[in-house]
Structure 1
Amino acid sequence: MAGSSHGHTPAAWTGSIITLIGFCVAGVFMVADSPLGFWAGMAVILLGGVVGGAMKMAGLGTPKEPDSVVQARDRAAGAEARSAA
């Protein structure tokens, strides 16, 4: 996973940060015994997912690889496995 760009996109970072803020808000208001604040934090968590998904759809997520690239990588991995055996 370290060799890929998994999670290293503006969409992933933005969605994760908004969700983290939502968890913090919900946690604080849960301890403070305020149901309204807790549910507001839960709404922020959902907002993080929506914003991250919208940014991904807008092209700020990991680009999908063409099928030709995936097939070439699979062929190369198969050739390595055969040569190692």
Structure 2
Amino acid sequence: MTENRTAEPIYLPEAVPPTNHGHTVAAWTAMIGVILGALVSSVGVLPGVPFVLFWVGLAIAAGALVVGVVLRNMGYGQPKPGVVPKRAGSGH
């Protein structure tokens, strides 16, 4: 009744997937820019304030999103899904 079991090798992934929950330079830069743009836009809709500030705020928010994407592509953000980040100093 005993089973003949052979030991199977266990394969581990090359690296653990990133778990920083978006706490990256790219994410912080983009979100601060979007918040600043929203603040400028909200001031732009107040009575007595030029409405052009609304559009300036939207441009700031859009620019912040572009900067966030550029920073991510430069390596300052969370890696894209399926891409294994290279570890510095790894001899393997």
Q: For residue 18 of structure 1, what is the aligned residue in structure 2?
A: 33
Deviation at 1:4, TM superposition (A): 1.9
Alignment length (residue pairs) = 64
Moved over 2 A (4+): 63-66
Deviation at 1:31, TM superposition (A): 1.3
TM-score by length of structure 2 reads 0.63
Query: Where in structure 2 are there 5+ consecutive unaligned residues?
Result: 1-17, 85-92
RMSD across aligned positions (CA): 1.7
TM-score by length of structure 1 reads 0.67
Pick the structure with greater CA Rg.
Answer: 2
Question: In the alignment, which of 31, 43, 46 is matched to residue 62 of structure 2?
Answer: 46
Identity percentage of aligned residues: 36
From the two aligned structures, give the one with the greater helix fraction. 1
Query: Where in structure 1 are there 5+ consecutive unaligned residues?
Result: 67-85
